[in-house]
Copies of this chain bind each other. A is one copy, B any other.
Amino acid sequence: MSSTIKVLLAEDQSMVREALAALLGLEDDIEVVAQVARGDEVLAAVREHAVDVALLDIEMPGCTGIEAAAQVHQALPAVKLVVLTTFGRPGYLRSAMEAGADAFLVKDAPAAQLAQAVRKVLAGERVIDPTLAAAALAEGANPLTDREREVLRAAADGSTNAELAATLHLSQGTVRNYLSTAIQKLAVRNRAEAVRIAREKGWL
């Protein structure tokens, strides 16, 4: 391999993004050819700059890094995808893998792993934290149905049943039913706990 690895960085916080760029800039074989701050700008930037590896944060405006990964994976399957996240939520790992990600890193891993991951995915390897992989397998899949998830997500901001019913075009009773089943599936006592647990697991 003679030429450098072309990397795109997608991360909404400029300071973190540019800091990561500085970090990768220290590596001789890696070049950050593009930076974006929104999920919905990833695909175009990857195309434009003939990127080898895209480094995607999950929490971004526009669309999540996981959705961006899915778009890139479908349009340009040769591009390698590294998903980088603050939260080591097992559900995120699962979704990232289903979206076609080649690596999944949490931001509290040592910085050296970043450049290593870039090189490894380019060599065809997959990079996943074994602890997290175990957790993802242990906890099983998301037990919530689509509707239950939507209602729970809408309830996360403290909306009342009446408001939920209005915004989701459902009857109040139905809202209560969905929340009730979600509460039972998550083995908790009330909607607030349900929201918290679903968030922690990356199921929201």
Tell me the A residues contacting B by CB distance below 8 Å.
12-20, 22-23, 25-26, 84, 86, 105-111, 113-114, 157-160, 188-196
Number of chain copies forming the complex: 2
Chain B residue with Cβ nearest A17: B111
Residue in B18, B111, B159, B160 whose beta carbon sits within 8 Å of that of A111 in the complex: B18
Checking B26, B159, B196 against A158 with a beta-carbon cut-off of 8 angstroms, the contacting residue is: B196
> What is the CA–CA distance of A196 and B157 in the complex, to the nearest angstrom?
7
Contacts A22-B22, A23-B22; is A193 near B157 (CB within 8 Å)?
yes
Q: Which residues of B contact A14 (CB under 8 A)?
A: 107-111
How far does the alpha carbon of A190 sit from the alpha carbon of B84 in the complex, in Å?
Answer: 35
| CB <8 Å contact, A13 and B108 | yes
> Could you tell me the distance in whole angstroms from the C-beta of A58 to the nearest C-beta in chain B?
14
- Is A158's CB under 8 angstroms from B189's CB? yes
Residue in chain B with minimal CB distance to A25? B22
Given that A107-B13, A107-B16 are known contacts, is A158 also in contact with B22, CB under 8 Å in the complex? no
CB–CB B19/A16 < 8 A: yes
Neighbour of A19 across the interface among B23, B157, B193, CB < 8 A: B23
Shortest Cβ distance from A37 into B: residue: B108
Interface centre among A86, A110, A111, A191 (most CB of B within 10 A): A111
- Beyond contacts A14-B107, A19-B23, A157-B193: 9 other A-B pairs, Cβ-Cβ < 8 A, are A13-B107, A14-B108, A14-B110, A15-B84, A18-B23, A18-B110, A22-B111, A158-B190, A191-B192
A108, B15: Cβ atoms closer than 8 Å: yes
Task: A158 to B108: give the CA distance in the assembly, Å.
Answer: 27
